[in-house]
Structure 1
Amino acid sequence: MPDDLNKRGPLDRVRINVHEEHELRYWTRELNVTADELSRAVAAVGVMAEDVRKYLRA
């Protein structure tokens, strides 16, 4: 099923999908990071939002 582009936040708030533009925008605002910083964090620790938060705080 295709994503509903009218939704502003992610469909799954525990996982980060950096390949969807609307989710990338949401998570960069939510975590106050750039897209590059978010992509590096996801590459380092995976897609789970809590793991990414911990990584970014460290």
Structure 2
Amino acid sequence: MSDDLKKKGPADKSRINVNESWEVEWWCKELGCTEKQLRAAVEAVGVMVKDVRKHLGK
């Protein structure tokens, strides 16, 4: 079975990796926020998606 390279998303959808620009872009679309808001949320509450969602009010 080969990977579908058209479906690009994070390998671990429970954590946000702000060190990968494509992943930051993906999470911004997913969470409906700007890169600045995403980075501030990760700085404030850590990399766990559930905590970032809660911080952003999503």
TM-score normalized by structure 1?
A: 0.84
**Alpha-carbon distance in 1 for matches of 2:10, 2:23:** 5
- Give % identity: 51
**Alpha-carbon distance in 2 for matches of 1:11, 1:23:** 10
**Alpha-carbon distance in 1 for matches of 2:11, 2:28:** 15
Number of aligned residues: 53
Instruction: Report the equivalent of 2:47.
Output: 47
**Alpha-carbon distance in 2 for matches of 1:32, 1:38:** 9
Superposed CA RMSD in Å reads 1.5
Unaligned runs of 5+ in 2: none
Cα deviation, residue 21, structure 1 = 1.1
**Alpha-carbon distance in 2 for matches of 1:8, 1:29:** 13
Find runs of 4+ consecutive structure 1 residues off by over 4 angstroms: none
Unaligned runs of 5+ in 1: 1-5
Instruction: Report the equivalent of 1:12.
Output: 12
* 3-state SS in 2 of match to 1:29: helix
